[in-house]
Amino acid sequence: MAVYIGCGTVFGLAMGMGWVAPDASMLPWATFVGTMLAVLYVALRSGWSARFHDAALTAPQIVLGVTAACWGYVLGGPVRTAALFPLLLVLIFGTFSLGWRRILWLTVFAIVSLSFSIALRHGPSPGGDWSLDAPGMHVDLVNLGMLVVLLPATSLVAVRLSSLRRKLRSERRALTEALAEVQRLATRDELTGLPNRRHMQELLDRELARSARHEHRFSIALIDLDHFKRINDAHGHAAGDAVLRSFAMTAVGGLRGHDVLARWGGEEFLLLMPDTAGPQAEATVWRMLERVGHLPFMDAGSLSFSAGVCEYRRGETATQLLDRADVQMYEAKRAGRGTVQVG
């Protein structure tokens, strides 16, 4: 719009100075361009154009630009050559979304439009002066020749820029996907799909800070599968992996939405239970033990774990809390495994 207003003003001034053919009027030109710009503006802003592949209406905008420039050429009389400068800018617009085929068609359209404008200037074929020496014909032909050279060159630049933009867009998409994958890998345990130790450490720190600020209580449980070595020894490492996976799936299935179970290392898991006091946390872990006990578990009897449950004590660090849970977990092992100790 700014370019149309700027170019229109320069031409209007030239007319005001009497440098342009006296019978030329800018009014129909300005009315046409103003109406078309308003239509395009409404089509874009209302979201109506979103249904098209060319949602920015780049091609219609280029057609309008070429028409306005060529019309200006007919109006421009002795200063008409200046009306061709915007044509070069108009085609650069194609770089925003058009493929090379459309840019090529629009280039051809621009050259044909200028030829048509020149024909109009010299009058319709019977009665018009089409001779080489007709007034202004030399300038028109040189202008047309220059445009035939320059427009394809400009279009070539537009095509290159357009394909560069497309490549950039697809590379950015690939990068975003790769980043999401890296984030997933950085926070998830590959085998079980649970949050990994590093991520759980962050969640624990966050919960500690939240608890300090809002005086929320929360509990954790350190869970260690019992006699896991026997499974590996008897059935192989792959079978052990499968047991870890099905334990993770079964254990998570019985948890509340806020609770987070993470793989803490090997056959050890850490359960974080926000807004949960010790007794409720203990009940949750007992329920988990029961669910896990129903897992089909090779020929080695039922799967069990030993767990140490602790409610967070004000002023405690994460390490102190984890140490307490560890002590309780070993208590559970000493007490014969398959049990939960609270401390």
Ligand X SMILES: Nc1nc2c(ncn2[C@@H]2O[C@H](COP(=O)(O)OP(=O)(O)OP(=O)(O)O)[C@@H](O)[C@H]2O)c(=O)[nH]1
Minimum distance of ligand X from residue 247's CB (angstroms)? 11
User: With the C-alpha atoms ordered 105, 93, 9, 139, is the resulting torsion angle positive or negative?
Assistant: negative
Site string for ligand X, 32-71 (x = CB under 6 A): ----------------------------------------
229 contributes a contact to ligand X by CB under 6 A: yes
CA atoms of 91 and 76, how far apart (whole Å): 21
333 contributes a contact to ligand X by CB under 6 A: yes
Q: What are phi and psi of 158, to 5 degrees?
A: -60, -45
CA atoms of 254 and 288, how far apart (whole Å): 7
* Pair of tokens at residue 156: 């070539």
The closest of 79, 78, 144 to 114, measured between CA atoms, is 144
* Pair of tokens at residue 113: 């439009």
121 contributes a contact to ligand X by CB under 6 A: no
Instruction: Point out which span in 55-63, 131-139, 229-237, 252-260 binds ligand X (CB under 6 A).
Output: 229-237
Minimum distance of ligand X from residue 233's CB (angstroms)? 7
Among the listed residues 54, 241, 326, 331, the single contact to ligand X using CB under 6 A: 241
Among the listed residues 140, 189, 226, 282, the single contact to ligand X using CB under 6 A: 226
Residue nearest ligand X by beta-carbon distance: 240
Minimum distance of ligand X from residue 172's CB (angstroms)? 36
Which residue's entry shows tokens 């070429």? 66
The closest of 221, 227, 236 to 324, measured between CA atoms, is 221
Site string for ligand X, 137-176 (x = CB under 6 A): ----------------------------------------
Instruction: Point out which span in 55-63, 72-80, 127-135, 235-243 binds ligand X (CB under 6 A).
Output: 235-243
235 contributes a contact to ligand X by CB under 6 A: no
DSSP H or E segment with residue 264 = strand 260-265
Catalytic annotation on 267? Answer: yes
Minimum distance of ligand X from residue 197's CB (angstroms)? 12
Report the site for ligand X in 182-201 (rule: CB under 6 A): 191
Which residue's entry shows tokens 């578990």? 297
Task: Output 80 or 263, the one with its CB closest to ligand X.
Answer: 263
Catalytic position from the list 171, 202, 267, 311: 267
316 contributes a contact to ligand X by CB under 6 A: no
Range 27-40 burial, b when 16+ CB lie within 10 A, else e: eebbeebeebbeeb
237 contributes a contact to ligand X by CB under 6 A: yes
Q: Tell me, what amino acid is at 244?
A: L
301 contributes a contact to ligand X by CB under 6 A: no
Give every CB contact of residue 77 below 8 A, 6+ residues apart in sequence. Answer: 19, 20, 21, 24
Sheet containing 340-342: which strands, arranged edge to edge? 260-265, 268-274, 218-225, 305-311, 340-342
Distance of CA 18 to the CA centre of its chain: 54
Give catalytic residue positions.
267
Q: Which chain residues interact with ligand X by CB under 6 A? A: 191, 224-229, 232, 237, 240-241, 244, 266-267, 333, 337
